[in-house]
Amino acid sequence: MLVIRALWLGNQPARILYFITMENNRFDVIVLGGGPAGLTAAIYLSRARLRTLVLNIGTAGGQMVLTHEVANYPGVESVSGYTLSNTMKKQAKSFGSVIKNIASIQQLTLNGDVKQVVTGDGTVYESDAVILATGGRSRELGVEGERQFKGKGISYCATCDGEFFTDKEIIVIGGGNSALEEAVSLTKYASHITIVHQFDYFQAFEYAIEEAKQNTKISFKLNSVISKFQGGESFDGAYIKDVNTGEESFIKSSGAFIFIGYQPNTEVLKGIVELNKWGEIVVDSEMKTSLDGVFAAGDAIAKRYRQITTSVGEATVAALATAGWLHEQRRKKVSLAH
């Protein structure tokens, strides 16, 4: 609902327009991030009749969009990450949430009673509370040639780029669930996959390890790290170093997929809320951050496990806690007014 918060004073239409614009950009809660955590929070908040804005730097869904198949989401037998993302987005919008994509954050003011977010285009949004659901991104190896061949043979998304390597030999780097599961997924396209991992054991669930080991298209280079990616106009392969002997060998390959985890998208939050040494947001059991009225959920917070379901659960807690906090703040204001 639009409320004009200024009087018409003579010939000053610009002042009236300014107040109308600010009222349209005033929300109960702003959610930063549109992945599974951000969209879940929006669903709960808007269902609670709280005017909710979701600001997302990319398209709605976050890293979930890149997941080829989600087979462990309770109540859903199998669904693509893209489909699940769209379903969550439609739910949030159906309850009244406003979702703005491709919205970069230029400035944040989160201390004080009124929180303020300025986006890259200079638009100012205000709210009483904020939920940080900024998520994470693929971690890079940081070796020579990685930046040079990023998107030109080196990828971080099997769903996005797997088909480009049909009937070709590729490398997968990593030893967690994502690396092993995506390697198996890539066997639909590649003729052969070499998994390179720095340890002699995998940090993955047993089912993922067994599935990869039983696939005849997959071989392993353990106790090994990538020392350099090589190529001319196109990607040729990678030098692999044995961590025990230091011996290097070259694997000819048409592409490399890197799955070594994520790093939190919290650069914009440094010096604003408490972060741990890994840059993750520190929260309590109710997802409260170090700032009053600011909550957080999803892959940007300090936690051990990062799954769609964990993000959804944390966002549920964050949204309910936010709604409760807002109710209490407004009750106090009414009491003081009397």
Catalytic residue among 160, 200, 284, 292: 160
Contacts of 183 (CB under 8 A, 6+ apart): 172, 193, 195, 212, 215, 218, 257
Q: Which of 28, 128, 161, 299 is catalytic?
A: 161
128, 157, 167, 236: the catalytic one is 157
Angle, to 10 degrees, between the axis of helix 177-186 and the axis of helix 206-214?
Answer: 30
| Residue 188 structure tokens | 């639909």
CA distance 244 to 165: 31
279 Rama sector, left if φ>0, alpha if ψ -120 to 50, beta otherwise: left
DSSP 11: S
- Cite the DSSP H helix spans in the chain: 13-24, 36-47, 81-94, 146-149, 158-161, 177-186, 206-214, 308-337
What letter would DSSP give residue 296? E
Please say if 161 is a catalytic residue.
Answer: yes
Is 242 one of the annotated active-site residues of the chain?
A: no
Annotated active-site positions, please?
A: 157, 160-161
